[in-house]
């Protein structure tokens, strides 16, 4: 993975939404519309949506449990002019948690021997080009990047 060095920002869009499962469709519409404005690569859009689903649903399930809260999703497209990369950041003020600090799941273990959880973030890590987490000013901030080819 490369470091997330800043390049020229081409475009930024933001969505603040209640972190509830019922809002996943709205999140997908936001992501799809914003990414489609830059590329028609269906595979890339599917990969980004898969990662967005995993991260957003983790926020809805765990960030505020047992309460509810909101999530802010920011799409930033950068390039100078190439490579053009899309960055998707998720921010919530829920319980501090770094999903990247968790060890990788043991894919060789039988289902009954595997610990619960961890496959989703494993999938995200293996789908994106870059990923980072920070906790700052009371906010969990998880950002991933994917190159637009």
- Provide the 3-class DSSP secondary structure of residue 76: strand
Share of the chain above pLDDT 90, in %: 70
Mean of per-residue pLDDT scores for the chain: 89
pLDDT at 118: 55
pLDDT in tens, 3-54: 455 578 889 999 999 999 999 999 999 999 999 988 899 999 999 999 999 9
Among 32-46, 67-81, 96-110, where is mean pLDDT lowest?
96-110
pLDDT at 1: 42
Is residue 83 pLDDT above 50, yes or no? yes
Q: Is residue 17 part of a domain?
A: yes
Greater confidence, 99 or 116?
99
Q: Can you tell me the distance from the alpha carbon of 102 to that of 49, in angstroms, rounded to the nearest whole number?
A: 22
Can you tell me the mean pLDDT for 106-118? 59
Sign of the CA dihedral running 134, 98, 102, 116: negative
Q: Is residue 3 part of a domain?
A: no
pLDDT at 2: 43
- Containing structural domain, residue 116: 9-148
CATH of the domain at 92: 3.30.565.10
Q: Is residue 119 part of a domain?
A: yes
Q: Can you tell me the distance from the alpha carbon of 49 to that of 31, in angstroms, rounded to the nearest whole number?
A: 7
Which of the 8 DSSP states describes residue 59?
I
How many distinct structural domains can be found in the chain?
A: 1
**pTM of the predicted structure, to 2 decimals:** 0.86
Q: Is residue 4 part of a domain?
A: no
pLDDT at 115: 61
Find the helix packing angle between 24-36 and 42-58, rounded to 10°.
Answer: 150
DSSP H or E run through 40: none
Can you tell me the mean pLDDT for 136-145? 98
Q: How confident is the model at residue 149 (pLDDT cuts 50, 70, 90)?
A: confident
Q: Is residue 2 part of a domain?
A: no
Q: Is residue 141 part of a domain?
A: yes
């Amino acid at each position: 993975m490369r470091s997330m060095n800043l390049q020229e920002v081409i475009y930024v869009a933001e969505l603040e939404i209640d972190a509830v499962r019922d809002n996943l469709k709205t999140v997908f519409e936001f992501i799809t519309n914003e990414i489609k404005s830059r590329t028609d690569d269906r595979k890339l859009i599917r990969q980004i949506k898969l990662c967005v689903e995993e991260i957003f649903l983790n926020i809805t399930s765990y960030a505020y449990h047992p309460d509810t809260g909101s999530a802010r999703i920011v799409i930033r497209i950068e390039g100078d002019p190439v490579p053009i990369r899309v960055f998707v950041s998720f921010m919530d003020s829920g319980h501090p948690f770094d999903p990247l600090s968790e060890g990788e799941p043991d894919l060789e273990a039988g289902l009954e021997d595997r610990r619960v959880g961890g496959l989703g973030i494993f999938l995200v890590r293996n789908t994106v080009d870059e990923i980072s987490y920070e906790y700052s000013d009371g906010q969990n901030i998880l950002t991933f990047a994917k190159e637009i080819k």
